Amino acid sequence: MRFAFSTLGVPGLPVAEVLRLATGAGYQGVELRAHPEEPVHPLTGLRERAAVRGRFADAGVEILAVAGYPKVAAARDAAGEEELAQELAELVFLAADLGAPYVRVFPGGGGRPAEAAEADAARRLAAVAPLAAERGVRVLLETHDSHRTGAAAARILDRVGHPAAGALWDVLHSWLGGERPAATHAALAPHLGYVQVKDVASAGDTAPLPLGAGRLPLADVLAALGDGAGPGGWLCWEYEKRWYPEAAGLPALLAPGRAHLERLLGAAPAP
């Protein structure tokens, strides 16, 4: 397996510093949060995109994904549909220009009847999938909010039926949804792009903790994965420092976090 971390853990940090952290702590990849407050986002110009891609290549670090915020299962009026389609396309273009294989999107269908939310999500993902395939990118639906379990996300992706639309397994949300890791993996395996790992104290206290310091069943997740962590074998640590400013800083935790995952992988039974 290969290890990445999300820039959500070091919000606003310049690219050079992100690369210094990755290489210093032994991470092979980085998930870039694509928000206007970050150094790289959909309004970043072509010249700067090329420069960022070059910096990562020179450092020997891969850009794993562009983490966007479209909510594909949310209710939208006609103008909102056009806006969402444009947002999805812009993220695909950004990922392609950066050489990233994945774009992350959310369901966001909370409060809607499941059938309507899932039909809209499947339609929207199916619409952007040909563009993503043309650009060598996969759009990944994260297990999150209205569709936090693998079973729920798979219902949407099974309807899409296109290889350029896949799944991002956020282990926190499937756990919060009451789904066991083996069941999540079984549901998502045909669609899986990569896996986001994290740790928290409890379902009622989701402030980020160092890997291994909380209650998430990371050993069970890795045992369920076996050799099936997606095509690239990526585990990405999403440490949500951006939303929990009181949490410990991520930089000092990166190397111990990678070491913890390596210990768990070494102890995981063969699939």
Residue 119, pLDDT score: 98
Q: What is the pLDDT of residue 226?
A: 87
Question: What tens digit of pLDDT does each residue of 149-175 get?
Answer: 999 999 999 999 999 999 999 999 999
- The pLDDT tens digits for 254-266 are 999 999 999 999 8
Token digits for 161?
């039926």
Q: Please report the pLDDT score of residue 269 as a whole number.
A: 52
pLDDT in tens, 223-233: 999 876 777 89
Q: How far is CA 191 from CA 76, 136, 149, 183, 233, in A?
A: 26, 16, 14, 14, 13
What pLDDT is attached to residue 230? Answer: 76
Separation CA 252–CA 257 (nearest Å): 9
Domains of the chain: 2-267 (3.20.20.150)
Model confidence over 215-251: pLDDT tens digits?
999 999 999 998 767 778 999 999 999 999 999 999 9
Nearest CA to 169 out of 216, 112, 131, 202 is that of 216
Reported confidence tier of residue 271, pLDDT bands at 50, 70, 90: very low
Using CA of residue 85, residue 66, residue 116, residue 77, what is the dihedral sign? negative
pLDDT at 227: 72
What average pLDDT does the segment 188-204 reach?
A: 97
- What single DSSP character describes residue 270? P
Q: What is the mean pLDDT of residues 112-132?
A: 97
Q: Which amino acid is at 240?
A: E
What's the whole-number average pLDDT of the chain?
96
Is the pLDDT at 270 greater than 90? The verdict is no
* Three-state secondary structure string covering 164-213: CEEEEEEHHHHHHCCCCHHHHHHHHCCCEEEEEECCCCECCECCCCCCCC
